[in-house]
Every structure is written in structure tokens, then in C-alpha cells.
A and B are shown apart, each in its own frame.
Chain A
Amino acid sequence: MTNIADSLRITTPGDTGITIVRDFLAPASLVYECHVRCDLLKQWQSAPGRAMTQCEIDLRVGGHFRYLWQGQGEGGTEAGTEGTFDAIDPNRQLVTTESWTDWNPGPVRATTTFAEHDGRTTVTTVIDLPSREVRETVMGGMTSGMSEAYLALDAILAARIPA
């Protein structure tokens, strides 16, 4: 049986887009809940050494949300995201416009779609960034078409094991 985590696909459509696709072994309603309820968001959005310390969600069209992450240890850095819900289709789709508090290159539009099929839910997040340069920074220098190269890299490196 293949690992569900292997379904993660990240591509870079157009000049400013990033698309992230991933399957989950749960119904769409539950996956959706995990994206709009602070008590649940805090659990999976907190990484070791970087906890989501604040979460505010006003889940209605035009409503605001605000997330804050805090790095641990002395001088632990803060990072935040805040924005507005532009469209809400419960259990199906969320459209948001957000900005980042630690580095704000302009508004970021994100559309997250939850599609249930055969007991699984495919979550597709389409992010539209303000410019090509911002995308390159976000992706760490990754340029258009590089996502294909990345997938090829996976295959090449996998073929080499054990090397």
C-alpha cells in the first residue's frame, strides 16, 4: 500500500502561482473542519520548535482571520498571517486574501478546494503571489517548470537507492 504522504504534489503554474495537492484519508467535512477551527488548526499547524500561539477566525464572507507562530528559545522569531475570507463554500472551498506580518510583499490570494472521492479527500491549494520574484523567494529560487525537474529528481534519486 502506498503512503498517503506520497500524494503530495507541488507545481508552479504560470508566473506567479503555486499549486499544492494532497490526499487525506478522511471525509471532506472533517478535513475542512481542520482548516477552519482554531482548536484543530493549532494542532497540525504547530511544528516542533514553532508553535501556533494565536489563532482567530471569523468564519464568514468578509470575516478576518489571524494566525501567529512563535519560535522557541531565546529570541524566538514570530511569524504571522492575517487576512479575509472572500468566499466560503462549507466543506468544499475557501477563498482568502492574506498578508504575512514578518515579510509583506503584497496580498496573497489562496483558494483551497476539498474534493471527496471514495472516502478520501483531495485538498488543492492554489496560491497566487504578487509577482514572479516573490514566488521565487518563497520557493527558494525555484523557477517555472522546476517542479517537473523536482519530480524527476525524486525519481532519479530513488533509482539510485541503495547507492
Chain B
Amino acid sequence: MEQNGYGAAATADRLDATFTALADPTRRAILARLAQGEASVLELAAPFAMSQPAISKHLKVLERAGLVSRGRDRTRRPCRLEAAPLAEATEYLGAYRDHWDASYRRLDALLLQLQSQPTTPEETP
């Protein structure tokens, strides 16, 4: 197993904040909604059986993690998804997944090749 070289404390802190924010299903649902376009707190609260203050609390966590920014419009203050920390988190979590994904894609190719041959030769290892 290779240990990855990520070491910078700032990156680790940022990732911590991102992962903490993502650990909650409501917050993930909020992000999924914002991925389709900006929305007000009221609009975000609508699909949830949750009060507006409860949603605002979740939004604060997302804002602190840099995943959501708020617009300037005083009355509406629309929420917007900030994708950069997400991309960073995906890249970080992706290393292990990438390893399996790449290995298994090579196995796909090998299986295809073996099946296109008339017979599979029985070789001793």
C-alpha cells in the first residue's frame, strides 16, 4: 500500500471542514439542490420537514467549510454552491478509488481479450 503524500496542515484542516460538513444527509441534500442553481433559504427549506432556522444552521456549517456562499441581495441573500473544496475532497478521497478503478478497468480489458479467444489456454502459473 502506498501512503499518500498529502501533508500540508492547511489542506488537512480544510478537508476536515469539508468532510464534517458533508457528514450530514441534510447538508448533502442542500448541496445537491444548489448544484442545480442558487436558491434562497426559504426555497432550500421548502422540501425539508425543517424550520428555516434549522436550515440556516446547516447553511452556516456549509458556509464555514467554504462550500456555500451567500449573495449580496439584502432581502433574499441567495445561496450558491462553491465547488472548489468539493473538487479537492473528491481528489483526496479518489486516490484509493482510482487505484481499484484503474486495476479493474485493466481486468475488464483482459476478460474481453480472454473471451474473444476461441479457448482459454490452461497455463500453469
Contact = CB atoms under 8 A, between A and B. Distances in A.
Contact of B35 (A40, A138, A160): A160
Chain A interface size range: 35 or more
A149 interface: yes
Contacts of B101: 5, 8
Contact of A34 (B1, B92, B107): B107
A1 interface: no
Contacts of B6: 140-141
B118 interface: no
Contacts, number: 131
Contacts of A148: 25, 28
Contacts of A44: 103-104, 106-107, 109-110
B96 A142 contact: yes
Contacts of B107: 24, 31, 34, 44
Interface of A: 4-5, 8, 10, 20, 22, 24-26, 30-31, 33-34, 36-40, 43-47, 55, 57, 59, 79, 100, 102-103, 137-143, 145-146, 148-150, 152-157, 159-160, 163
